[in-house]
Copies of this chain bind each other. A is one copy, B any other.
Amino acid sequence: MKHHVNFTPGPSQLYFTVADHAREAFRSGIPSLSHRSKTFEDISRETTAGLRELLNIPAGYEMYFTSSATEIWERIIQNLVEEKSTHFVNGSFSKRFYEIAQQLNRRPEKIEAKEGDGFSIVEKFDASELIALTHNETSTGVSLPVDFIHAFKEKNPQALIAVDAVSSLPYPAFDFTKLDSVFFSVQKGFGLPAGLGVWIVNEKCITKAESLLSKGISVGSYHNIPTLRANAVKNQTPETPNVLAIYLLNQVVKDFLRRGAETIRRETEYKAAILYQALQQHALYNSMR
């Protein structure tokens, strides 16, 4: 099969070190490793410690492995919203997060921008338990400025701020103290095979899930926050996870740390500049202006 360079909103090209890491994984028996073994716990611990360093995640924030960011949309609504969430919708991915809240019988509201647009007004949403913002709306490529996202917490101290950073991390330098939950999947900015999502939550999220549970509201089962964290403290997962993907994420995070987060950011900006220039010089782009 010919190798194509793709710009689809689906999986990215693999990061250039991944195929070698995968070969090493198969050589050393990673795919049949027990997820209750010491070796797995070490891999899991290294991965979350590496991500903590790379993304500058402070103490008091935990990290859980899920199967996808799509799953995390569902887990956020189940665990962190009793009745009402507010969704900034400007494309098909942010829209799906809103629809998932409806499917779980909550009463979400949406603030809509037309496709290709972003948002600029930081409003107050007094009745909202959670405000959902998409840093980079994958379907349209529209990014919200990080400062705009950071501004919601001060105006909405009662709400949890949840940020979909699926197609942007590790690029954005978030100030986690202004956010309660951030999540991504590994097949975009980390250049890994699909099949793993990472869900970052703070203590306010944990408290919220526990409070829903104490009211008799179902917060899901094997992937509810109390179960995820009971396993995460042991560097384990509730179910048999995608062990190979966690191993590969660990290796790529180490590669990224060797280069440094700032180098990766400058490289991303440089690649974007090349791409923007190529597009601006293209006949099709100029014919549409």
* Chain A residues with a Cβ under 8 A of chain B: 1, 3-4, 6, 8, 10-14, 18-19, 22-23, 26-29, 31-37, 67-71, 73-74, 77, 96, 99-100, 103-105, 185, 187, 192-196, 216, 218, 220-224, 238-245
A220 in contact with B105 given A4-B29, A34-B6 (CB within 8 Å):
no
Residues of chain B within 8 A (CB-CB) of A195 are 67, 195-196, 241-245
Q: Name the B residues within 8 Å of A6 (CB-CB).
A: 32, 34
A220 to chain B, nearest CB (A): 7
A195: nearest residue on chain B (CB-CB)? B242
Which residue of the partner chain B has the closest CB to A22? B26
Contacts of A69 in B (CB 8 A): 239
Number of copies: 2
A71 & B222 in contact (Cβ 8 Å cutoff): yes
Q: Judge whether A31 and B10 touch: CB under 8 Å.
A: no
Cα(A70)–Cα(B185), bound, Å: 20
With the chains together, A70 CA to B71 CA distance in Å?
A: 14
A33 to B12, CA, bound (A): 8
Q: How far is the CB of A78 from chain B (nearest CB, A)?
A: 9
Contact of A35 among B4, B19, B73, B194 (CB under 8 A): B194
For residue A19, give the distance in angstroms from its CB to the closest CB of chain B: 5
Q: Which residue of B lies closest to A8 (CB)?
A: B34
A28, B1: Cβ atoms closer than 8 Å: yes
Measured CB to CB, the closest approach of chain B to A72, in angstroms, equals 10
CA distance A103 to B216 in the complex (A): 9
Chain B residues near A28 (CB, 8 Å)? Answer: 1
**Complex contact A10–B22 (CB within 8 A):** no
Of all chain B residues, the one with the shortest Cβ separation from A240 is B194
Query: Mind listing 15 A-B residue pairs with CB under 8 Å?
Result: A1-B28, A1-B29, A11-B240, A18-B31, A22-B26, A67-B67, A67-B195, A70-B222, A70-B240, A74-B223, A96-B222, A194-B242, A195-B243, A195-B244, A242-B245
Q: Provide the bound-state CA to CA distance between A195 and B35, in Å.
A: 12
How distant is the Cα of A37 from the Cα of B11 in the complex, in angstroms? 11
Q: Which residues of B contact A3 (CB under 8 A)?
A: 29
Residues in B neighbouring A36, C-beta threshold 8 A:
8, 10
Among A10, A69, A238, the one with the most B-chain Cβ atoms within 10 Å of its Cβ is A10
A3 to chain B, nearest CB (A): 6
Residue of A3, A37, A193 with highest tally of chain B CB at under 10 A: A193
- Shortest CB–CB separation between residue A205 and chain B, in angstroms? 18
> Are the CB atoms of A11 and B243 closer together than 8 Å?
yes
Closest 4 CB pairs of A and B: A195-B242, A67-B67, A70-B239, A31-B193
